[in-house]
């Protein structure tokens, strides 16, 4: 899948991946996709939960070297 922006949060602990994703999503247009790279295992719980709370769409996860990649589509 294609994404419009990416942030690298590898090596960062909770809650930094969510905080950085929130900050980056604010500057994106509705429908744009953000790819978040994170190695903290809590990101697998925190990022989908953040999406539900903030009105974004969680598109899924995939493994990358050193962690996981999470795709989030910005809501309205």
Rounded distance between C-alpha atoms, residue 3 and residue 56, angstroms: 14
> Of 74, 68, 72, which Cα lies nearest the Cα of 12?
68
Q: Block means of pLDDT (10 residues each) for the chain, length 76 residues? A: 96 96 97 98 97 98 97 96
Which entry of 7, 10, 14, 54 is annotated as an active-site residue? 14
Find the domain containing 47 and state its range: 5-73
Total number of domains in the chain: 1
Compute the distance between CA of residue 55 and CA of residue 9 in angstroms, rounded to an integer.
22
Q: Is 51 a catalytic residue?
A: no
Q: Is the peptide bond before 56 cis (omega within 30 degrees of 0)?
A: no
pTM (predicted TM-score): 0.96
- Which domain CATH number covers 12? 3.30.110.40
First to last CA, the chain: 21
């Amino acid at each position: 899948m294609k994404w419009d922006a990416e942030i690298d949060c590898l090596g960062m602990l909770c809650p930094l991946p969510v905080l950085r994703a929130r900050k980056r999503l604010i500057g994106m247009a509705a429908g744009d996709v953000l790819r978040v790279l994170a190695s903290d295992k809590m990101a697998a719980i925190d990022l989908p939960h953040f999406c539900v709370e903030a009105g974004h769409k969680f598109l899924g996860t995939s493994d990358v070297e050193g962690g996981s990649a999470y795709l989030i589509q910005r809501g309205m």
